[in-house]
């Protein structure tokens, strides 16, 4: 039985409670793809807080604590300033708020590129401090040795190829990748290298659909698309984009809600009732008996 943490409204503390089911495992995700096919596509969303994890968990197979929190939570211009400490704080919160999904934590820029040993030091710290099941890192062939090094030492890894946001300065922007033959071939080589190195899944971001389909068919591990193809073995998007928290979203995002408008309307009503002194009312105040 896994453990979930529920907020005690009387004390505002998170108390451990038995969870209703066992948490999914990395091998269970990897085994979704057998003989080159996934019968039930993998559902993956980002999560950054305990409450968000509670709301998303039962619907997902994987919760990704993405370094996209730099922009979504902290208002940073890119993912590059995100630190290991930031990822640990949010990763631990998501683990506490979930009981079903595999929790994967992004390794931020500069925490793994220098050497496999450096990557292991930071990855092991992240997993020990958060209780997450795996880490994710960006890069293709150049990171294959690091992926193998981590996997051989007991750290499951999700790879990430195609459009890799941490390399935005090298790529020159966030445009779709694979528009010429050489780049398309490189994406395939990168994905295959990570597959062979032992990644249990690979995120394929922002590539032309024919490339996404070809990569998905070529790899033995599940390929999780974002701006790729419905034919991938699963999908991931940033939850706040999906929920309509921002005015502008990438082309590959479908909005399934308009939470920004709902929050704004609720705040408007609250402000109006505070100003006209109708809040708090009898139901929200304590009267003498």
Which positions are catalytic? Answer: 205
In angstroms, the CA 270 to CA 279 distance is: 8
**First and final C-alpha spacing in the chain:** 45
Contact 198, 153 (CB under 8 A): no
61 is in an annotated binding site: no
180 is in an annotated binding site: no
Pairing of strands 42-46, 62-65: parallel
67 is in an annotated binding site: yes
Residue ranges of the annotated binding site for 3-methyl-2-oxobutanoate are 67-68, 106, 136
Residue ranges of the annotated binding site for Mg(2+) are 67, 106, 138
Residue ranges of the annotated binding site are 67-68, 106, 136, 138
């Amino acid at each position: 039985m896994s453990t979930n943490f529920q907020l005690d409204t009387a004390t505002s503390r998170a108390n451990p409670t038995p969870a209703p089911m066992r948490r999914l495992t990395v091998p269970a995700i990897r085994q979704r793809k057998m003989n080159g096919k996934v019968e039930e596509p993998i559902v993956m969303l980002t999560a950054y807080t305990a409450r968000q994890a509670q709301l998303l968990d039962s619907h997902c197979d994987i919760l990704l604590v993405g370094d996209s929190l730099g922009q979504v939570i902290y208002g940073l211009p890119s993912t590059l300033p995100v630190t290991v400490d930031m990822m640990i704080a949010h990763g631990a919160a998501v683990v506490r708020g979930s009981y079903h999904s595999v929790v994967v934590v992004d390794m931020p820029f500069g925490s793994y590129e220098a050497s496999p040993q450096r990557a292991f030091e930071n990855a092991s710290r992240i997993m020990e401090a958060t209780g997450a099941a795996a880490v994710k890192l960006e890069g293709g062939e150049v990171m294959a040795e690091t992926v193998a090094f981590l996997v051989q030492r007991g750290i499951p890894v999700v790879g990430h190829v195609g459009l890799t946001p941490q390399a935005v300065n090298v790529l020159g922007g966030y445009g779709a990748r694979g528009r010429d033959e050489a780049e398309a071939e490189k994406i395939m080589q990168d994905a295959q290298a990570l597959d062979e190195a032992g990644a249990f899944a690979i995120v394929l971001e922002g590539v032309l659909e024919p490339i996404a389909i070809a990569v998905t068919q070529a790899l033995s591990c599940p390929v999780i698309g974002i701006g790729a193809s419905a034919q991938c073995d699963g999908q991931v998007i940033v939850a706040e984009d999906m929920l309509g928290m921002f005015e502008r979203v990438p082309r590959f995002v479908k909005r399934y809600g308009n939470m920004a408008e709902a929050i704004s309307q609720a705040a408007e009503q609250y402000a109006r009732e505070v100003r006209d002194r109708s809040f708090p009312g009898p139901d929200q105040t304590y009267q003498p008996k």
